[in-house]
Amino acid sequence: MMAPLSVDEWTIIGLSLRISIAAVILMLPIALGLAWTLARYRFPGKMLLDAIVHLPLVLPPVVTGWLLLLLFGQNGPIGHWLSHWFGISLLFRWTGAALAAAIMAMPLMVRVIRLAIESIDPRLEQAALTLGAPPLRSFLTISLPLAFPGLVAGMILGFARCMGEFGATITFVSNIPGETETIPIAIYAAMQTPGSEMLVARLVLISVILSIGALIIAEYLTRRMADRRRIDVARY
């Protein structure tokens, strides 16, 4: 049980990390934009947008995976476009796994980042405007730094979600060792193979350690944010 990790195990862990990190980096600007829009603007169709953002949270993951297959498959509207213009195919590739993980992490990331943005007093941005700061400067120097702990918490929770992603990934990009075989998929595959109980146990342990670590860091950052907010409320 405590033997060093084998090459195959390192490959699985490395692939999981690579996919999750790529997914979070891909989703961060999108989640920030969505969270900002939902937190700060009122517009027709806002409830619909909110619902679409939350869809991956409530849909069966296999449905999300199937929808991705439909959109990004060779004959899907986006997949056809990507392969025609850029020669890119996401099917059965680690990039496809990253896309699936990103979509599954989106609701969680948007929720956390949105809460952080809503906790920023918009009157501070008004003050920055009257001091001559154009909206972009006031965003970069006031809003973004104040939302930063929430942004990091959202990234970490999203990362943890990506590390655990299974259903949409296996539906969309299948299980290809070294390309799309992440920790959860490897656990599932090992469970189907007699005599792999030790591999299952080791991968489960690694998965638990990574997830708990991520949750602790996210919790710590969220608390720090709440503390700061309390100070603000007391002051203003």
Partner 1 sequence: MSLDIELARRVGTRDICARIKTDSRIAGLVGPSGAGKTTILNMIAGLVRPDSGHVQIDDVVLFDSAQKIDLPAYRRGCGYVFQEARLFPHLRVRANLLYGRRDRRKRDVDGIAEMLGIGHLLQRWPATLSGGEAQRVAIGRTLLSNPRLLLLDEPLSSLDGERRTDLLALILRIHQSTAIPILYVSHDLRELDTLDADVISLADRR
Asked if 123 is part of the footprint of partner 1 (rule: CB under 8 A), the reply reads yes
For partner 1, the closer CB: 60 or 135 = 135
Asked if 128 is part of the footprint of partner 1 (rule: CB under 8 A), the reply reads yes
The region that residue 44 occupies, defined by phi over 0 for left and psi between -120 and 50 for alpha, beta otherwise, is beta
CB of 128 to partner 1, least distance (A): 7
Asked if 42 is part of the footprint of partner 1 (rule: CB under 8 A), the reply reads no
Asked if 126 is part of the footprint of partner 1 (rule: CB under 8 A), the reply reads yes
In this structure, the chain runs to a length of 236
Select from 130, 192, 194, 195 the one that contacts partner 1 (CB under 8 A): 130
Q: Cα separations (Å) of 163 from 30, 61, 71, 106, 125? A: 19, 14, 23, 14, 36
Asked if 124 is part of the footprint of partner 1 (rule: CB under 8 A), the reply reads yes
CB of 96 to partner 1, least distance (A): 39
Residues with Cβ within 8 Å of 118's Cβ and at least 6 positions away in sequence, in order, are: 39
Q: Cα separations (Å) of 183 from 67, 77, 94? A: 23, 30, 13
Asked if 142 is part of the footprint of partner 1 (rule: CB under 8 A), the reply reads yes
For partner 1, the closer CB: 3 or 131 = 131
